C-alpha cells in the first residue's frame, strides 16, 4: 500500500492513498473514546442533472442495508456498541460518523465503511424512505426560521447549484428510484471524494485496517460543478397562518472560505451579531426593545459566501429593525471599532474554537473540513495565528466589502 506525505504533516496525522482517499488521524492518548467520520465531497450543490435532494436521499438510504448488514443489523450493531452515530447533508459535502469507546473501534469502522461504500438501495426501503423524507420536509415547513433560510438560499442562488434545496421537494422525490440512486452513488462516492477522519484513542491496528479497507481502485475523474454563483438581489414576502412573530432576514454576498477577508469577516460577524454584547443585540434588543431573538450568521462556500442577519419580531417592527441594521453597518464603516472591541471579538472566537477542540468529535470534524476546504490541516495554533493577524483596517475593509455587496431581504409573516 503506497502512501505519501503532504505539506510537512507527519505520517501519523495525514495519509493519502493512491486512489485519492484522504485519511486523517489525531490521537488523544488519555481519551476513552474515538470519533470516526466518513466525509464525502458531494452535497446538494454537486448534484448536477440528478433530481434535487438526491444527495440527502442517498444519506438516508445508506442506513437501510449494505453488503454485510441489513437495515436492522446496522441499527442493532450501532446500538450494541453504545455508539452515537448519525449523518447529515450540506450544500458541499455529506458526513457519516460514529463516536464510541476505543474497544469498539473496529466494529464502528466496519459498520461505517461498509454502509458508505456498499449500500444495497432495496426497492422496499426506497419506497419507505420517501415517506420519511416527505415528513422531514413538512417538519421544516413547520419551523419558520429554517423554512425562511431555505427559501432565502433558493432565491438568492435561483436556478444555480447552491440554490438547490437539501431535502428536495415532493416533485423531485418522485423522480428518485433505485436506478438514479445507484448511478449517483457510483459517480459521486468515488474514493477520491472520500475524507476519513479519526480522532481520539485508537490502535495502530485500526489505522492499518482503515487504509486496507479504503485502498481500492475507484479513482475516476471528477467532473466538478462550477461554484461561481451569481447573487440575486431580491425582496420577498411570504405568508403563513398561525405565526406568533414575523421572521425577517437580510443576507449579503460575503467572502468565500479561501478569500483574503475570510477571517476578518468571521470577526466582523462576531461583532455584529454572535454574542450578547454584539452591535445588533445591543441596538435592536437592549436599546430599542424591538425583538427577543436577533443574530448574524456567516457561512462560506468555495467561491462565495453569505452573511445573514435574522430578527424575529412583531410585524410593525420589521421596518424599524431593517433601518437600524443599516445604521449599525454604516456606523461600523464610518466610525470603525476600537482595538479593545477587536481584541474582545478575537478572544471570543479563539476561546470558542479551542474549547470545541477538546471534543474528539469536533477534532474529527475540524480536520476533515480543513482538508476539504483548505487542502491543509488547520491546527489550533494556525487558527489562532490567522485570527490574531486581523487588524482594524481589515475589519474596515471587510465592512466596506459587505456594504458594497448586493443584499436581499426576506420576510415571513402571518396572513
Distance CA 294, CA 305 (A): 20
pTM of the model as a whole:
0.92
Three-state DSSP state, 122: coil
Answer whether 127's CB lies under 8 Å from 133's CB: no
- Rounded CA-CA distance 295/344 in Å is 18
- Taking 70 as the threshold, does the pLDDT of residue 194 lie above it? yes
Residue 1's pLDDT is 32
CA distance 203 to 158: 48
What 3-state DSSP class applies to 412?
strand
CA distance 154 to 278: 28
The residues near 236 (Cβ < 8 Å, ≥ 6 apart) are 151, 155, 408, 409, 410, 411
8 A C-beta contact, residue 194 and residue 37:
no
Q: Name residues whose C-beta falls within 8 Å of residue 12's C-beta, 6 or more positions apart in sequence.
A: 25, 27
Q: What's the pLDDT band for 7 if we cut at 50, 70, 90?
A: very low
Q: With 70 as the cut, is the pLDDT of residue 223 above it?
A: no
DSSP state of 281: I
Q: Is the pLDDT confidence value at 3 over 60?
A: no
Task: Express each pLDDT in 255-264 by its tens digit.
Answer: 999 999 999 9
As beta bridge partners, residue 196 has 23, 38
The arrangement of secondary structure in 3-214, i.e. its CATH architecture, is 2-Layer Sandwich (3.30)
Q: What is the rounded average pLDDT of the residues 140-150?
A: 95
Q: Considering the domain 235-414, what is its CATH architecture?
A: 2-Layer Sandwich (3.30)
Taking alpha carbons only, the member of 120, 117, 96 closest to residue 213 is: 117
Across the range 353-370, mean pLDDT stands at 94
pLDDT given for residue 229 in this prediction: 84
Residue 220 pLDDT: 65
- Domain ranges across the chain: 3-214, 235-414
What Å distances lie between residue 158 and 139, 140, 154, 164, 165, CA to CA?
23, 20, 5, 8, 11
Rounded to whole angstroms, the Cα distance separating 76 from 60 reads: 17
Q: Do 3-214 and 235-414 come out as alike in CATH topology? A: yes
What nine digits make up the cell of 211?
Answer: 487504509
- Per-residue confidence (pLDDT) for residue 4, from 0 to 100: 39
| End-to-end alpha carbon distance in the chain | 63
The Cα 265–Cα 253 span in angstroms is 11
Amino acid at each position: 500500500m503506497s502512501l505519501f506525505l503532504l505539506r510537512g504533516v507527519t505520517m501519523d496525522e495525514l495519509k493519502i492513498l493512491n486512489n485519492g482517499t484522504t485519511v486523517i488521524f489525531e490521537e488523544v492518548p488519555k481519551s476513552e473514546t474515538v470519533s470516526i467520520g466518513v466525509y464525502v465531497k458531494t452535497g446538494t450543490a454537486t448534484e448536477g442533472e440528478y433530481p434535487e435532494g438526491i444527495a440527502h436521499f442517498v444519506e438516508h438510504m445508506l442506513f437501510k442495508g449494505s453488503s454485510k448488514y441489513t437495515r436492522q443489523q446496522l441499527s442493532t450493531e450501532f446500538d450494541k456498541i453504545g455508539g452515537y452515530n448519525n449523518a447529515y447533508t450540506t450544500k458541499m459535502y455529506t458526513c457519516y460518523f460514529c463516536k464510541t469507546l476505543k474497544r469498539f473501534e473496529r466494529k464502528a469502522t466496519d459498520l461505517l465503511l461498509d454502509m458508505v461504500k456498499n449500500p444495497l438501495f432495496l426497492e422496499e426501503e426506497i419506497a419507505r424512505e420517501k415517506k420519511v423524507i416527505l415528513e422531514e420536509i413538512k417538519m421544516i415547513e413547520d419551523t419558520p426560521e429554517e423554512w425562511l433560510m431555505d427559501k432565502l438560499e433558493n432565491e438568492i442562488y435561483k436556478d444555480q447549484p447552491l440554490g438547490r434545496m437539501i431535502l428536495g421537494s415532493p416533485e423531485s422525490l418522485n423522480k428518485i428510484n433505485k436506478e438514479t440512486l445507484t448511478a449517483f452513488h457510483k459517480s459521486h462516492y468515488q474514493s477520491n471524494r472520500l475524507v476519513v477522519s479519526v480522532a481520539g484513542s485508537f490502535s495502530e491496528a485500526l489505522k492499518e485496517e482503515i487504509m486496507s479497507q479504503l485502498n481500492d481502485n475507484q479513482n475516476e475523474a471528477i467532473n466538478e460543478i462550477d461554484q461561481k454563483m451569481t447573487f440575486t438581489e431580491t425582496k420577498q414576502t411570504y405568508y403563513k397562518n398561525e405565526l406568533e412573530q414575523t421572521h425577517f432576514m437580510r443576507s449579503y454576498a460575503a467572502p468565500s472560505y479561501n478569500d483574503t477577508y475570510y477571517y476578518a469577516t468571521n470577526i466582523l460577524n462576531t461583532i455584529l451579531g454572535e454574542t450578547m454584547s454584539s452591535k445588533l443585540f445591543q441596538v435592536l434588543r437592549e436599546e430599542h426593545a424591538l425583538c427577543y431573538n436577533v443574530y448574524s450568521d456567516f457561512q462560506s462556500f468555495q467561491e462565495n459566501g453569505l452573511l445573514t442577519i435574522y430578527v424575529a419580531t412583531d410585524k410593525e417592527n420589521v421596518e424599524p429593525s431593517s433601518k437600524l441594521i443599516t445604521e449599525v453597518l454604516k456606523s461600523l464603516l464610518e466610525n470603525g471599532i476600537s482595538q479593545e472591541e477587536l481584541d474582545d471579538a478575537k478572544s471570543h472566537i479563539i476561546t470558542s474554537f479551542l474549547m470545541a477542540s477538546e471534543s474528539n468529535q469536533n477534532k474529527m470534524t475540524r480536520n476533515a473540513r480543513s482538508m476539504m476546504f483548505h487542502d491543509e490541516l488547520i491546527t489550533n495554533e494556525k487558527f489562532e495565528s490567522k485570527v490574531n493577524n486581523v487588524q482594524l483596517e481589515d475589519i474596515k475593509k471587510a465592512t466596506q466589502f459587505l456594504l458594497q455587496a448586493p443584499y436581499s431581504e426576506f420576510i415571513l409573516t402571518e396572513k
